[in-house]
Chain A
Amino acid sequence: MSMPESLQSPAGVTSTAGPSWWEGLKRSGRELTLREDRLFLLLAVMIGIFAGLSVVCFRMAIEWVRLWLLRSEEAPPVLRLLLVPCLTGLLIGIIVKRFFPRVRGSGVNQTKTAVYVSDGYIPFHTVFGKFFCSAVVIGGGHSLGPEDPSLQIGAGIASIIGRKLRLSRENLRLIAPVGAAAGLAAAFNAPIAAVIFVIEEIVGKWSSGILGAVVLSAVSSVVVMRGFLGAEPLFRIPPFRLAHPAELLGYALLGVVGGLFSLFFVKLVANLRMWLRKWPDWTEYVQPAIAGLLLGVMGVWLPQVLGAGYDVMDQSMHGRYIWQFLAILALAKVVATCLSFSSGAPGGMFAPTLFIGAMLGGSIGGLEHHFFPVLTGSVGAYALVGMGTLFAGFLRVPMTSVFMVLEVSGNYSIILPVMISNTIAYLISLKYQPVPVFDLLSKQDGLELPSLEEVREEEPIRVENAMRPVSVPPLRAEKTVTQVMAELERNQQDWILIHEKDSGWHMVKRAVLLEEISSTPGHLRLAEVFPRHWVPTVHPDNSLELPLRRLGDLPYLPVVHRANPARLVGVVSREDILRTYAKMGEDEFDLPGPS
């Protein structure tokens, strides 16, 4: 990881003559300043703290707005239910359309766009707009969550700090995910899940440099958040125990239903969003208000679907609702979230996804408990697993989904049901919905952001796909000149591979080698006379990019066995590599091959 120039600049200051202690102090300062990696990590901590503070304020803002607009009851008065979501929708529709067009949507795609399109640039007014608009919308009862906006707010803060420090373009791209992880970790109170989500969905690769910074920022933001709001999880975690090994079948059923429900959710969001986009431009002012009115009507009968719904999730895990009602809530929340999200109201999909998963899990658990009371554990455990299932199926972040449940529950014995259910839901979603929801949304917005799921699922092209078998055995340096001369008569290649026990592989032009050894006594060993031109090697399982980078001017590279580097398993040349890539392209896109 390179370091921003601004951080290095103090070292570049030309020193003037002065007292020796002053010079020493300045030299020490320069040394300290130049330790780039440590300063980057310090920056990550700073971003984490700012993001943590912002997320705390953001959550407070949501709560104040809710208290002010919907009062303190669990089920607000009917008149408020009908008016508040509608009027907040109207207000936010106007504000978003007029002043903050970039705050529409969840925040995940906007952050990805910033990283991959705008070199990590997120303007301050977007951060402010996201904060204000999301707080009003979520506090006003729209069925959206605070996590994705927190992610964008965190990324925005990191971007602002990065720009003020005049970081390089590369580092600005890196710093936004660092802030995103901090924002998400503070919103979720789950640093591990946040780190994995950002790596899985935004960064897309595991490199030690970015990982260290992301972890530090996530941890520091969570520490700040817990300092203000306490360390309690978002909901009370029910006790988990597997009542019977056969219960795993129940969790598998939850995976199947969760996968199908995720598909339904994705299709509904995508189609409704596309349909609303076809409406005239001016309707964008009123779409959130219409969604709010419909939500308010739903809220008269089902006030549980309003807002993020963490308290409802908590109660569903502790047996407050019967399974039929939980199923109704799951379905109603899908509709409510689709309305809110598709209308362009700024807010996240994480909390609704967790909500739907909890309700679905609870209803499946309740249903199974009804028919097989001895074989089924607590409904709360199903609700918890259901959250991860929807996360895996809808958001398509399989690792995050597993770690999120583990981290939130703090119970590692739940891992088996979580993995079974999540995997099934993920595979069903993958099979019937090839494009993940975030990629689908960015495509609808006309953006071609890199699909990190595609990267994950991509079959790597390896050296073994391109290498050729060895037609002539290489020369061994311990042989005598006479033996080598005899072998050279059989080996008419221009470039000769020689292996020496101590120094490895070398490559010499045939003519040069012949010239060197022709006047040498035959009993001498080749090692004593041959001109050494060391060549790098590759292994069959290496990515095909590696030999491309290592070839340089060499005609080919030796491919050697990992357990025995003296054993040549093949060679790979630039032509072999290009031919392989060309063939892969033909297979992938069904292109016509060379005649």
Chain B
Amino acid sequence: MFLSICGLLLIPMFTITGVIVRLFHEKQAKIAQDWRAAGEVNLAAARSVVAIEDFRNALLYSPDSTQLQLELAQALTEQGQLDEAQDYLFNLRTADPENSLINLELARIAVRRGDVDSATTYFHDAMYGHWPNNPHTNQLTTRKELIEFFLSHNRRDAARAESLSMAADNPADPEVRVQAADFLLQAGDAQSALAEYQRVLHMEPENGDALAGSGKAALAVGQFGQAERYFTQAILRGSKDSSVERDRDISSEAAELNPYDTQLNDRERQRRILRMLDAAQARVTSCFPALLEGSKVPVPDKLKTLATDRAALPKQLTGQVFAMQPELEKTALIWVFEVERSAASQCGTGTITDAAIELIAGQHKET
């Protein structure tokens, strides 16, 4: 009998307990929401210390909230408390290893730590994991972040591979393909970049960014004339890239100066070399006055090679001298390129002609 009464008593007890628990959970949810809102405001205002406290308070009342833990981890990462942030994320990842948001945050922590291998793994897990919304856009954004990370750590091959994948995964999106080509160019693969820009131009012949990019890629592979044409078209199509005009001038100058053009006759080549010598001499005057003849300023050690090389050349170089001693062409070009490289590193950007010579020098590093 008593057991039956106990059994009946359980019904109201379960009901009352259920009501109490439900009321408490509602209260908890309200408190957690309030603290979270405050935390988000503070995080957005870059007050990460206060945001951390807010998120911690919120977590007291909503300890299982993945989103809240993620936000706390973001705030902690921002504040540099990487260990704790990572612990939160590891815990979340154990429960949901394919969650892209969690993996992305872990990747960012690895980036902060300079741990390239872990960052790569987490970025990949994020890209190919589960995104709660806009998976394609988020995957693309993450890939861009990864490529930038690779580029910043001089992992050019990895950046190149990701850039090619980025282009291949978005065949119908010219904007993304231009971005992929930009990355390829930054990764040092100008040929692939040029090919990618050209594919975009095939889809949209008037795409200003693709034209400007093609010009840069053509410049990088030494096709100065083609580069000039691309830049000219880019300007006509209203490219927003402010450097395009200067690039066009440089490419135009490089095309006019390039002594390695196979279609030149001896006289024209010698003329170009003499122009380059004049430009180099002007650069020396403005940048390395110690090297000038009659200067009383002692020559610094690092410029002694330049001085020696110049001394090895005749004082007066003319077309006739080159005609009589053709081997001097190469010696003169070596000196010109050295002057431009040294000046660029010490005195910064020079004239358009200096930039054009630098470009030519970049194409002939063996010289």
Residues in B with CB closer than 8 Å to A236 are: 63, 91
- Decide: A232 near B63, CB < 8 A? Known: A74-B56, A318-B91: yes
Task: Give A75's nearest chain B residue, CB to CB.
Answer: B53
**Does B3 contact A318, Cβ atoms closer than 8 Å?**
no
Residues in A with CB closer than 8 Å to B90 are: 238-239
Residues in B with CB closer than 8 Å to A314 are: 63
- Decide: A64 near B13, CB < 8 A? Known: A165-B3, A239-B94: no
Q: How far is the CA of A319 from the CA of B17 in the complex (A)?
A: 36
Minimum distance in angstroms from B207 CB to a CB of chain A: 49
Minimum distance in angstroms from A311 CB to a CB of chain B: 6
A229 interface contact, C-beta 8 A: yes
Residues in A with CB closer than 8 Å to B60 are: 72, 74, 311
Task: Give B59's nearest chain A residue, CB to CB.
Answer: A311
Question: Could you say which of A64, A230, A237 contacts B24, with CB atoms under 8 Å apart?
Answer: A64
- Decide: A42 near B91, CB < 8 A? Known: A72-B57, A74-B53, A232-B64: no
A195 interface contact, C-beta 8 A: no
Residues in B with CB closer than 8 Å to A311 are: 60, 63
**Does B6 contact A46, Cβ atoms closer than 8 Å?**
yes
Residues in B with CB closer than 8 Å to A164 are: 2
**Does B84 contact A50, Cβ atoms closer than 8 Å?**
no
Provide the A50-90 mask, 1 if CB < 8 A to any CB of B, else 0.
Answer: 10010011001001100100001110000000000000000
**Does B87 contact A319, Cβ atoms closer than 8 Å?**
yes
Residues in B with CB closer than 8 Å to A523 are: none
Task: Give A322's nearest chain B residue, CB to CB.
Answer: B83
**Does B21 contact A318, Cβ atoms closer than 8 Å?**
no
Q: How far is the CA of A43 from the CA of B27 in the complex (A)?
A: 35
Question: Could you say which of A42, A67, A74, A239 contacts B27, with CB atoms under 8 Å apart?
Answer: A67
A388 interface contact, C-beta 8 A: no
B35 interface contact, C-beta 8 A: yes
Q: How far is the CA of A315 from the CA of B16 in the complex (A)?
A: 33
**Does A72 contact B91, Cβ atoms closer than 8 Å?**
no
A320 interface contact, C-beta 8 A: yes
Residues in A with CB closer than 8 Å to B56 are: 74, 315
B290 interface contact, C-beta 8 A: no
Provide the B142-186 mask, 1 if CB < 8 A to any CB of A, else 0.
Answer: 000000000000000000000000000000000000000000000
From residue 196 to 239 of chain A, which have CB atoms closer than 8 A to chain B?
Answer: 228-230, 232, 236-239
- Decide: A238 near B17, CB < 8 A? Known: A50-B6, A74-B60: no
Residues in A with CB closer than 8 Å to B18 are: 228
**Does A320 contact B84, Cβ atoms closer than 8 Å?**
yes
From residue 375 to 406 of chain A, which have CB atoms closer than 8 A to chain B?
Answer: 378, 380
A49 interface contact, C-beta 8 A: yes
Q: How far is the CA of A593 from the CA of B247 in the complex (A)?
A: 113
**Does B13 contact A50, Cβ atoms closer than 8 Å?**
yes
**Does B21 contact A56, Cβ atoms closer than 8 Å?**
yes
Minimum distance in angstroms from A215 CB to a CB of chain B: 20
Provide the B1-45 mask, 1 if CB < 8 A to any CB of A, else 0.
Answer: 011001100100110111011001001000100010000000000
B61 interface contact, C-beta 8 A: yes
B131 interface contact, C-beta 8 A: no
**Does A60 contact B20, Cβ atoms closer than 8 Å?**
yes
B288 interface contact, C-beta 8 A: no
Task: Give B10's nearest chain A residue, CB to CB.
Answer: A49
Residues in B with CB closer than 8 Å to A165 are: 2-3
**Does A46 contact B21, Cβ atoms closer than 8 Å?**
no
A306 interface contact, C-beta 8 A: no
**Does B87 contact A42, Cβ atoms closer than 8 Å?**
no
Q: How far is the CA of A232 from the CA of B91 in the complex (A)?
A: 13
Residues in B with CB closer than 8 Å to A72 are: 31, 35, 57, 60-61
Residues in B with CB closer than 8 Å to A64 are: 24
**Does B21 contact A42, Cβ atoms closer than 8 Å?**
no
Task: Give A66's nearest chain B residue, CB to CB.
Answer: B60
Q: How far is the CA of A42 from the CA of B6 in the complex (A)?
A: 12
Minimum distance in angstroms from B164 CB to a CB of chain A: 36
Residues in A with CB closer than 8 Å to B88 are: 318
A507 interface contact, C-beta 8 A: no
Provide the A358-381 mask, 1 if CB < 8 A to any CB of B, else 0.
Answer: 000000000000000000001010
Question: Could you say which of A46, A161, A228, A315 contacts B17, with CB atoms under 8 Å apart?
Answer: A228
**Does B6 contact A161, Cβ atoms closer than 8 Å?**
yes
Residues in B with CB closer than 8 Å to A74 are: 53, 56-57, 60
**Does B17 contact A53, Cβ atoms closer than 8 Å?**
yes
Task: Give A166's nearest chain B residue, CB to CB.
Answer: B2
Task: Give B20's nearest chain A residue, CB to CB.
Answer: A60
Residues in B with CB closer than 8 Å to A53 are: 10, 13-14, 17
**Does B87 contact A380, Cβ atoms closer than 8 Å?**
yes
From residue 44 to 64 of chain B, which have CB atoms closer than 8 A to chain A?
Answer: 53, 56-57, 60-61, 63-64
Q: How far is the CA of A229 from the CA of B21 in the complex (A)?
A: 8
Q: How far is the CA of A53 from the CA of B94 in the complex (A)?
A: 31
- Decide: A43 near B3, CB < 8 A? Known: A56-B17, A64-B24, A232-B63: yes
Q: How far is the CA of A355 from the CA of B57 in the complex (A)?
A: 19
The 10 closest A-B pairs by CB, nearest first: A318-B87, A319-B83, A319-B84, A228-B21, A72-B31, A236-B91, A319-B87, A320-B84, A53-B17, A60-B20
Where the two chains meet, the residues of B that have a C-beta atom closer than 8 Å to any C-beta of A are 2-3, 6-7, 10, 13-14, 16-18, 20-21, 24, 27, 31, 35, 53, 56-57, 60-61, 63-64, 81, 83-84, 86-88, 90-91, 94
Ordered by A's residue number, 18 sampled pairs between the chains whose C-beta atoms are within 8 Å are A42-B3, A49-B10, A50-B6, A50-B13, A53-B13, A53-B14, A56-B17, A57-B17, A60-B24, A67-B27, A228-B21, A236-B63, A238-B91, A239-B90, A239-B94, A311-B63, A317-B87, A320-B84
Known: A232-B63, A238-B91. 6 other contacts (CB 8 A): A46-B3, A50-B6, A67-B27, A67-B31, A161-B6, A232-B64
